[in-house]
Amino acid sequence: MQVEYRVDLRPHHTFGLPVHAAAWVELTDAARLPEILALPEYDPATVLWLGGGSNVLFGGDYAGLVVHLAHKGIAAEARADGRVAVTAQAGEIWHDFVQHTVAQGWYGLENLSLIPGTVGAAPVQNIGAYGVEVGEYIASVYCFDVDTQQFVTLDAAACRFAYRDSLFKQEGRGRYVICAVTFVLDTVFAPRLAYGDVAAVAAEIAAGRAIGAADVAAAVCRIRQSKLPDPKVLGNAGSFFKNPVVDAETAAALLAQHPTLPHYPQADGRVKLAAGWLIDQCGLKGFAVGGAAVHDKQALVLVNRDHASAADVRALAQTVQARVAEGFGVALEPEPVWLAC
């Protein structure tokens, strides 16, 4: 297993900050995970298990070992109920995997097209978009437990999927390395078109035919490309803040003052608010600190406009949080994982 030193992390995370990893290993076979724990550079307190780097923010140079999970492979098995169990290895690129499922006639993930990153990271924050969360389709997650040094399979209930959250983002963080994910997908297509413009754009693409999964995937790609900056062109980490969820009383008070505030009642009685709207109302679109800025078209996205440093991003995020707290009394929580090491 080859360890590299002082590795430039710019190509390995989508914000493109000028930071280095003290040590770096590429893992191409999950069975070799125990060997990593035996490396002199390995320290459980500082190791970073990295996929595509689209949901991490480096606070500066990373002083620990970064393990890039790059092992690939997809296998499928028909189930007695007519659905299909599809197991993908952690290093598969998420969007390529979704495209593959659609091409094979395995349905459910098409609304999650074009989300950057890897299959292995998808359960970590229970990725979601256009009315679908990946946890709805996950049957189990095959992990390496670094505490017991055993491979284990966790079923969906054990993963505790919630809005942009799971066991792997909470107390399982750093303990479970996700090696592979098993999805149960449908073989009969049932489109999920209730969210945003997906129905209209998919119908336009289908042009009179019945809407198929490929049309929904293409519609989602088209909408995303029109709304979100491409990290290859303008560094970013997608939605920088989670949509805040507040109690019904707080939501009612805010709505009385701001009747146009987009809000989404939740099953538990609480109400989800649109973080991008709150930031926009504070007049922060285009606001910059050093080389980091609030995207001028989408206030929820912070971008690396011009050679931003990690300190610029942190100062900008803190300013946005303070202004939204002052204006609305609502606390914004960052969505990406901040890494300080």
Ligand X SMILES: Cc1cc2nc3c(=O)[nH]c(=O)nc-3n(C[C@H](O)[C@H](O)[C@H](O)COP(=O)(O)OP(=O)(O)OC[C@H]3O[C@@H](n4cnc5c(N)ncnc54)[C@H](O)[C@@H]3O)c2cc1C
Which backbone phi and psi does 144 adopt, to 5 degrees? -105, 120
Dihedral in degrees, nearest 10, Cα atoms 247, 248, 250, 254: 130
- Nearest approach in angstroms of CB 8 to ligand X is 16
> Of 239, 305, 314, 323, which one is the catalytic site residue?
239
The one segment of 30-38, 39-47, 119-127, 303-311 that binds ligand X by CB under 6 A: 119-127
Dihedral in degrees, nearest 10, Cα atoms 168, 40, 90, 22: 90
223 touching ligand X, by CB under 6 A: no
Which residues 158-217 are close enough to bind ligand X by CB under 6 A? Answer: 168, 177-178
**CB 223, CB 198: distance < 8 Å:** yes
94-104 and 213-227 are packed helices; what angle lies between their axes, rounded to 10 degrees? 150
Q: Judging by DSSP bridges, how do beta strands 292-294 and 301-304 pair with one another? A: antiparallel
9 touching ligand X, by CB under 6 A: no
101 touching ligand X, by CB under 6 A: no
Which residues 311-340 are close enough to bind ligand X by CB under 6 A? Answer: 337
Which backbone phi and psi does 323 adopt, to 5 degrees? -70, -40
The one segment of 146-154, 231-239, 285-293, 313-321 that binds ligand X by CB under 6 A: 231-239
Distance CA 77, CA 85 (A): 5
Binding residue (CB under 6 A) for ligand X from 127, 246, 294, 302? 127
Structure tokens at 236: 């970013």
The one segment of 17-25, 38-46, 111-119, 209-217 that binds ligand X by CB under 6 A: 111-119
What mask, x for binding ligand X by CB under 6 A, covers residues 278 to 307? ------------------------------
Distance CA 167, CA 173 (A): 7
Nearest to ligand X of 99, 125 (CB atom): 125
55 touching ligand X, by CB under 6 A: yes
237 touching ligand X, by CB under 6 A: yes
The one segment of 228-236, 250-258, 261-269, 325-333 that binds ligand X by CB under 6 A: 228-236
Beta bridge mates, 84? 78, 185
Nearest to ligand X of 143, 251 (CB atom): 143
129 touching ligand X, by CB under 6 A: yes
CA 47 to chain centre: 20
Nearest to ligand X of 218, 254 (CB atom): 218
Nearest to ligand X of 237, 273 (CB atom): 237
> Of 83, 113, 133, 164, which one is the catalytic site residue?
164
Binding residue (CB under 6 A) for ligand X from 25, 36, 124, 154? 124
DSSP for 260-323 reads T--EEE-TTS-EEE-HHHHHHHTT-TT-EETTEEE-SS-TTEEEE-SS--HHHHHHHHHHHHHH
The one segment of 27-35, 79-87, 125-133, 196-204 that binds ligand X by CB under 6 A: 125-133
Binding residue (CB under 6 A) for ligand X from 27, 228, 303, 313? 228
Q: What 8-state DSSP symbol labels residue 108?
A: S
64 touching ligand X, by CB under 6 A: no
113 touching ligand X, by CB under 6 A: no
Distance CA 193, CA 197 (A): 8
Active site residue 239: yes
Q: Is residue 122 exposed (0-12), middle (13-18) or buried (19+ Cβ within 10 Å)?
A: buried
Q: What 8-state DSSP symbol labels residue 186?
A: B
Residue with tokens 């499928």: 76
Residues that bind ligand X (CB under 6 A): 14, 48-56, 69, 90, 115-118, 120-122, 124-125, 127-129, 168, 177-178, 228, 231, 236-238, 337
Q: Which residues are catalytic?
A: 164, 239, 335
